[in-house]
Amino acid sequence: MQHYPHPIIAREGWPFLGAAIALALLVTFGGAPLVWSVPFWLVALFVLQFFRDPPRVVPGDAKSVLSPADGRIVAIEPVTDPWLEREALKISVFMNVFNVHSNRSPIDGEVVSRWYHPGKFLNADLDKASTENERNSLHLRSLDGQDITCVQVAGLIARRILCYVAPGDKLVRGQRYGFIRFGSRVDLYLPKGVQVKVVVGEKVRATTTILALLP
């Protein structure tokens, strides 16, 4: 796992931001009419806001399941966890291009397993994105032995899922573990009996929003 000071602007975006600013400066001072540079500065501003990665206050206790991503709740439903083959409650967070795309650990615990599956790039707001899109899944085990599956799902525009942890790594709530570029989704498969603290349609923030309480 890679450790580094909190970057404020996600390091995954540094090359994109640098290129966008360099191009905007080139157009601004390259002799073209000044108005021509405006679209390039708007692109640089979009890249800056997309890759922002602000530090967050961690609420609750070890029983709290925190949101792994910024976005909107698009599903809360009983399902069969396709990774652990058990009955579970799925909570899905959809991220649009204006959300922070850094992914954070929902619990204190250990990474038990990690799976990657290639797939399609459907709109991540659709239910079938959970099973048909490219995705990276983590089996997490809490300090008291509860199992959670946390799945990064690519979206219509997202073409790059980044995950920096491996089996055996220890995570704490709110710890940054991955990133998805340009619109996507994160699915959580929780044990039956959790106490849900959010509703469909609610806007949530990574780390600071408590999605559920473990039994």
Bridging pattern class, strands 203-204 and 71-81? antiparallel
Q: Which of 158, 168, 210 is nearest to 188 (CA)?
A: 210
Which among 64, 67, 102, 184 is annotated as catalytic?
184
Q: Which of 103, 209, 90 is nearest to 160 (CA)?
A: 103
Q: Does residue 142 have an active-site annotation?
A: no
Number of H helices, E strands in the chain: 3, 16
- Count of CA atoms in the C-beta half-sphere (13 A) of 66: 28
209 CB-near residues (< 8 Å, 6+ apart): 66, 67, 198
Quote the crossing angle between the two packed helices 14-28 and 38-50, to the nearest 10°. Answer: 170
Catalytic center residues: 184
